Amino acid sequence: MPEKLHFRSERNIYSTNEEKRVVKLSATIITYNEEKNIARCIESLILVTDEIIIVDSYSTDNTESICSKYPVTFIKNKFEGHIQQKNYAIKQTKNDIVINLDADEAIDEELQQSILELKKDYKKDGYYIQRYNNYCGQWINHSDWNPDKKLRIFDKAKAHWGGINPHDQIIMQPGSNIGILSGKILHWVHQTHEEHRAKTEKFSTIAAGEYYKLGRSSNVLDIIIRPLWIFTRSYIIRMGFLDGKNGLILCTFSAKTTYLKYRKLRRFIKQNKVNRS
């Protein structure tokens, strides 16, 4: 069962007149061992949100003690997947409109101002925001990582987290009216290449498992052609080479993730056939 440890109570209030809908805004963040990032994330949200919900999957570092210094709701909940955890976090919010950040993200000053203005006159069902990624100390301007548009502010009655773990995304109801906000979500992706290598192994295993559950297939062409296409698109077509050495490395890891995902999926399929025989 989830365990609530520390919280600030807010009442869901929004008013409507002939011209404007004024809203209160809830923020959601999921965490696990995010002591290096969480303070920066929270501090970027405090001035523009009315409630911050943190759903933690039982961190073993100082994440909880850091969060206790801020006016947030801190909830412990078993992690069953990124999509499941983020949908659980939405259900804990008191307000209709939600902004989601990952713990290694923060919003810049321009986006803070955009959100303050948005709260005075909320018109759309959801809003896209440009994300700017920092890789091993370098801001990435090309490849598949830029532009990197994310839908992160939404009316929770018209949205839910979907996709395929670990690559979650907000799914809006058909016919939803989507806008774009100025400003950026700043994203510190990996501090070291070794950290990226470890995440490549972890995420490819999760994705292969999800694909297997969905009944996806994997053949030699998937294992060879798909990674080559990912690298070609990211490094050449989208000019990842202009980001120098780190551009080459991150594009290579992107291709490797795809390679590992389909290789592991093929292994899962073969193992299942052996177990059935």
In this structure, the answer to whether residues 9 and 111 fall within a common structural domain is yes
d(CA 129, CA 138): 20
Q: How far apart are CA 111 and CA 122, in angstroms?
A: 15
276 vs 23, residue with greater confidence: 23
Mean pLDDT of 166-176: 96
pLDDT above 50 for 255: yes
Write down the mean pLDDT value for the chain.
92
Asked whether 187 and 102 are in contact (CB, 8 A), the reply is yes
How sure is the predictor about 7, in pLDDT bands with cuts at 50, 70 and 90?
very low
Predicted confidence (pLDDT) at residue 8 exceeds the cutoff of 90 = no
Give the model confidence (pLDDT) of 179-188 as tens digits. Answer: 999 999 999 9
Residue in the block written with tokens 């969480």: 38
In the listed set 190, 223, 252, which residue is the last one of a domain according to the structure? 190
CATH number of the domain to which 134 belongs:
3.90.550.10
Tokens 């370098």 — which residue? 138
Chosen domain end from 129, 155, 190: 190
Question: Do residues 248 and 267 share a domain?
Answer: yes
Last residue of a domain, one of 162, 190, 218: 190
Residues 32 and 155 occupy one common structural domain = yes
Give the chain's domain count.
Answer: 2
21 & 94 share domain: yes
What residues make up the domain containing 244? 193-276
- Structure confidence at residue 21 (pLDDT): 82
Same domain, 85 and 143: yes
3-state secondary structure of 95: coil
Over residues 195-215, mean pLDDT: 94
